[in-house]
Amino acid sequence: MTHAAAHHTSMGLDSRKMAFWAFIGSECLLFGSLISTYLVYKGKSLVGPYPHEILNIPFTSFSTFDLLASSLIMVLALAAVQRGDVRWAKIWLFGTAFLGLVFLGGQVYEFSSFVHEGLKIDTNLFGATFYVLTGTHGAHVTVGVIWLLTHWVQTLRGKMPTPMTVEITGLYWHFVDVVWIVIFTLVYLIQ
Amino acid sequence: MEGRAHPTVGTYLRVFAVLVIVTVIEVGVFYVPAFQAVLVPLLLVLSALKFLLVVLFYMHLKTDSRFYAFLFGGPLLLATAVLVGLLLLFYGALRLRAGV
């Protein structure tokens, strides 16, 4: 049995990819519950700051563009790995991780400015649900950045990651992106 | 089977262009008072469009096995049903209490 064949299920699908899609499915339930909690408690804070007083749409729009661009660069990295192009794989993998770091920097800035304006996790229901939801998303982005950097270091050492490994990393990264698409609309734009 | 070949780089770039345009529209309608009456459904539709584009093209569900779509779509539908159910439960209870 070859190494590649060892990873295939009886359905002819890659077992790692299938398991990862199942994991993403479970992540849908995690974020579904956090978003539900945010929406259920929306407008029920007894004291401020309230969302319309504090949320910075232009700044968050920039973060959204940043994450969308990182998704584009991620698929370009996958395409480079698939055609065995080490140089561009190196560039695109680092580029994706870099844009992820820019997003995280933006989130650190946003959280610190909110705390400065009086919104802490225990200030009101908005603070509790907002920080838990966006913080969980940020933790996922952090994991994604670390994962991408491990691939990048691998390419720096002259060892190309397999296309399937990068594709699975990409699935995770794009999932983090689609979760942000939902958060941006439900939390930031629909106030 | 793993499905058909992944989209080309040209397709990835076109999808990105659409994602950027839709995001600009989303932020634009947020600031235009004329759209306030239809803001929520409009933003939900635009957000769903972006979600679908990323999932179909960047996550390759358009060309990959339908089984992956099932593994993703099943829990996604369940999460959406829980969200809608909770909202109906909480806001329905509030409306009942208020006698609306």
Question: How much is the ipTM here?
Answer: 0.90
How many beta carbons lie within 10 A of that of residue A187, not counting itself?
22
Task: Please give, rounded to a whole number of angstroms, the shortest distance from the CA of B35 to a CA of chain A.
Answer: 12
Q: Which of A17, A36, A189 sits opposite B86 (nearest CB)?
A: A36
Inform me whether the C-beta atom of residue B63 falls under 8 Å from chain A C-beta atoms: no
Q: Mind listing the pLDDT tens digit for each residue in A24-40?
A: 999 999 999 999 999 99
Q: Which of B58, B80, B82 sits opposite A71 (nearest CB)?
A: B58
A35 near A110, Cβ under 8 Å? no
- The alpha carbon dihedral of A39, B76, B20, A180 has a sign of positive
Residue A18 dihedral angles phi and psi, to the nearest 5°? -65, -45
Among B residues 70-89, those touching chain A with beta carbons less than 8 Å apart: 71-72, 74-76, 78-80, 82-83, 86-87
User: Mean pLDDT, to the nearest integer, of B46-52?
Assistant: 97
Q: Could B12 and A76 be called an inter-chain contact, meaning their C-beta atoms sit closer than 8 Å?
A: yes
Per-residue model confidence (pLDDT) at position A190: 92
% of chain A beyond a pLDDT of 90: 86
Cα-only R_g, chain B: 18
Q: Could B12 and A189 be called an inter-chain contact, meaning their C-beta atoms sit closer than 8 Å?
A: no
Q: Which of B12, B20, B26 sits opposite A75 (nearest CB)?
A: B12
Q: Could B68 and A17 be called an inter-chain contact, meaning their C-beta atoms sit closer than 8 Å?
A: yes
Note the helical H segments in A55-124: 57-82, 86-116
Best mutation target, A57, A74, A75, A169, to test chain B (most B CBs within 10 A): A75
Angle in degrees, CA A4, A9, A13, rounded to 5: 75
Among B residues 25-44, those touching chain A with beta carbons less than 8 Å apart: 26-27, 30, 39-40, 43-44
Q: Which of A32, A68, A190 sits opposite B20 (nearest CB)?
A: A68
Judged against a pLDDT cut of 80, whether residue B95 lies above it is answered with no
B76 near A93, Cβ under 8 Å? no
pLDDT band (50, 70, 90) for residue B4: low
Q: Mind listing the pLDDT tens digit for each residue in A76-134?
A: 999 999 999 999 999 999 999 999 999 999 999 999 999 999 999 999 999 999 999 99
Q: Give every CB contact of residue B99 below 8 A, 6+ residues apart in sequence.
A: none
pLDDT band (50, 70, 90) for residue A4: very low
Judged against a pLDDT cut of 90, whether residue A48 lies above it is answered with no
- The alpha carbon dihedral of A69, A23, A129, A43 has a sign of positive
Judged against a pLDDT cut of 60, whether residue A6 lies above it is answered with no
Residue A37 to residues A164, B24, B79, B83, Cα–Cα distance (Å): 35, 28, 12, 8
User: Mean pLDDT, to the nearest integer, of A34-53?
Assistant: 91
Roughly what angle, to the nearest 10 degrees, separates helices A57-82 and A163-183?
160
Judged against a pLDDT cut of 50, whether residue A7 lies above it is answered with yes
- The alpha carbon dihedral of A74, A172, A33, A138 has a sign of negative
